[in-house]
Amino acid sequence: MPVFDKELKIKIDYFRRRIIEFYLKSGRQFPWRETNDPYVVLVSELLLQKTTSEQVLNIFSKFFSRFPEVRILAQADVKEIEAIIGVLGLRKRTRFLKELALQIVRDFNGTIPNDRNKLLKLKGVGLYTANAVLAFAYNQCVPVVDTNVARVLRRFFGIKGKKPAYADKELWSFAKYVMPSSKCREYNYGILDLGALICKSRAPLCGKCPLKEYCQYYRSSN
């Protein structure tokens, strides 16, 4: 946790407010953001790994129309799952999704856990995915830190570090410290979208960024 001071508090309050405002005005809309069904949130997050939102969007309706709940996915034929998600280049993930569904049915009676430690016991679920389920399905105020979020936090607050987002424990701790106590769903989606649309890895659109007034990166590059 960073040393508390007045300037940091001002920056954090500004950051929270502007991120939420950005999302409410310019946030992306996806069907997996329009539900708090833990099953849909969990599977969507797993499908979004190593692929794009647009690709997942193309198969979203077909997948959840055929497998609307975890018990149906657990009973599905592997080839039937592959026929839908194979177009994403995720054929290896086919058997994994079925095994995950079977584990949820076997160990949790078909209910996606709302506890981080239990979620982390699920096949293929790491800290980001676990927190995404808690944040987007169970409305808990926990951070989600992927590459985009890490870049926004590091640039705005002037945090040095090159570790991958999933491995940067100090950054996760700071992200938790910065979390607001309300509108956390909008806040998390807002950082994700700002990183994807504005604070890009290359050629960031700093002039259009709602955070530029206090952004350390913007100040140092202008």
Q: What is the pLDDT of residues 153-186, one digit of tens each?
A: 999 999 998 899 999 999 999 999 999 999 999 9
Q: Which of 23, 39, 82, 128 is catalytic?
A: 128
89, two tokens: 């280049």
**Which positions ≥6 away from 26 have C-beta within 8 Å?**
193, 197
**In whole angstroms, what is the distance from residue 94 CA to residue 90 CA?**
7
92, two tokens: 């290896």
128 is catalytic: yes
Q: What is the mean pLDDT of residues 189-208?
A: 96
Q: What is the mean pLDDT of residues 8-15?
A: 94
Q: Which of 23, 82, 146, 193 is catalytic?
A: 146
> Does the pLDDT value for residue 221 go beyond 90?
no
Sorted by where each begins, the domain ranges of the chain are 6-28+141-220, 37-136
Instruction: For the chain, give the percent of residues with pLDDT over 90.
Output: 86
Sorting pLDDT into bands at 50, 70 and 90, what band is 4? low
45 is catalytic: yes
**Which positions ≥6 away from 80 have C-beta within 8 Å?**
66
Which one of 3.30.70.3400, 1.10.1670.10, 3.40.50.970, 3.40.50.12780 gives the CATH number of domain 6-28+141-220?
A: 1.10.1670.10
SS3 content of the chain, % helix, strand, coil (to 5): 65, 0, 35
- Which pLDDT tens digit goes with each residue over 21-64? 999 999 999 999 999 999 999 999 999 988 899 999 999 999 99
Q: Which of the pair, 221 or 189, is modelled with greater confidence?
A: 189
CATH placement of domain 37-136? 1.10.340.30
